[in-house]
Chain A
Amino acid sequence: MASFTPNLEPAPDASLQFKPKKPRITLQTPSSCPSNQRTQRIKRWRTQRDQHIYSSKLFQALRRSRRTSASREVHETADRVLAGLARGTTRWSRAILTARKVTKHKKAKLPTNNRLRKPDIYRERRKTTAVERKLKVLGRLVPGCLKLSFSNLIEETSDYIAALEMQVRAMTAITEFLCGGTGGGPQPPADRLPSNVNS
């Protein structure tokens, strides 16, 4: 897989401020000491190798699936492959993989059962600070992290963000690759078409 895409350039980083991709990192350090484990975890989604693995897996999944004409299916497939790569080590990946079964049944968010909630005057009204409110929003954004402790939520968030960034990079690369392959695509650059002025 060394020459996976010889002339494929990653998406220009001008518009997206990603960290520059690190060179291929050989994970041969013994993961016995926690600091090494943490370094491995930090570098987890940022290596070229991981991205290549994800791209090829995603492409295979897309080719196998029949219904690739719906963007929702593509999105779900991409999420599923991404979560699969995590190998069940993170909560959000497990939530994505298990949630897929119930997506068909539950389209909208379940409303909170307001009847069972005690009205505010009976509950001791904790002043939800701005930070706590934002934590809640964050917990909703990361799948499967609705009621997590602060430190766990931050851990999950950092992993999720790294994974999402890799997902965007990989999908951009695949899109550009397919674009170049078909020679057309949504934005045909003018210099590509040699003879445009015919008839």
Chain B
Amino acid sequence: MSGRRSGSGVSSISDDQITHLVFKLQQLIPELCARRSLKASASKVLQETCDYIRNLHKEVEDLSDRLSQLLASIDTDNDQAAIVRSLLM
């Protein structure tokens, strides 16, 4: 993406690009997308993004926790493991 002016700030690309990218990001976050507010402020979008990523991380952690428990219980049962394997491969 061209249009990057050299400046003293960390992100000193043109404002238009910033708003455009922020808008793109906004469409990915379900919370901001559902509310249909046309353009949330950049800071709000970034905040929601961070929260959303943290949420997803936590969900993956919980899921992997459950999976590990399930796999531990399945390991003791070889028949079902064979069935599951044959279904998935």
Contacts and interface: CB of A to CB of B under 8 A. Distances in A.
Interface of A: 4-5, 16-19, 55-56, 59-60, 62-63, 68-75, 78, 124, 126, 128, 130-132, 134-135, 137-138, 141-142, 149-151, 154, 157-158, 160-162, 164-165, 167-168, 171-172, 174-175, 177-179, 181-182, 184-186
A1 B75 CA distance: 25
A158 B25 contact: yes
A150 B11 contact: yes
A160 B25 CA distance: 11
Interface of B is mostly: helix
A186 B69 contact: yes
Contact of A69 (B29, B30, B60, B68): B68
Contacts of B9: 126, 132
A178 B25 CA distance: 35
A164 B56 contact: yes
Considering residues B4, B75, B88, which has the most beta carbons from chain A within 10 angstroms of its beta carbon? B88
15 contacts: A4-B87, A17-B34, A73-B68, A74-B71, A132-B10, A138-B50, A151-B1, A157-B25, A158-B28, A164-B57, A164-B60, A168-B63, A175-B66, A179-B70, A184-B73
B54 A62 contact: no
The 7 closest A-B pairs by CB, nearest first: A134-B46, A17-B30, A150-B11, A74-B64, A75-B64, A71-B65, A171-B63
Contact of B21 (A132, A154, A177, A181): A154
A132 B11 contact: yes
A48 to B, nearest CB: 15
B38 interface: no
A72 B81 CA distance: 22
Given A138-B50, A150-B21, A161-B28, A177 B84 contact: yes
A149 B68 contact: no
B66 to A, nearest CB: 5
A71 B43 contact: no
A154 B17 CA distance: 11
A174 B70 CA distance: 10
A62 B84 CA distance: 12
Contacts of B69: 71, 186
A63 B68 contact: no
B85 interface: yes
A154 B69 CA distance: 36
Contacts of B63: 168, 171-172, 175
B71 A164 contact: no
B64 to A, nearest CB: 4
Given A151-B1, A178-B71, A135 B31 contact: no
A59 B34 CA distance: 33
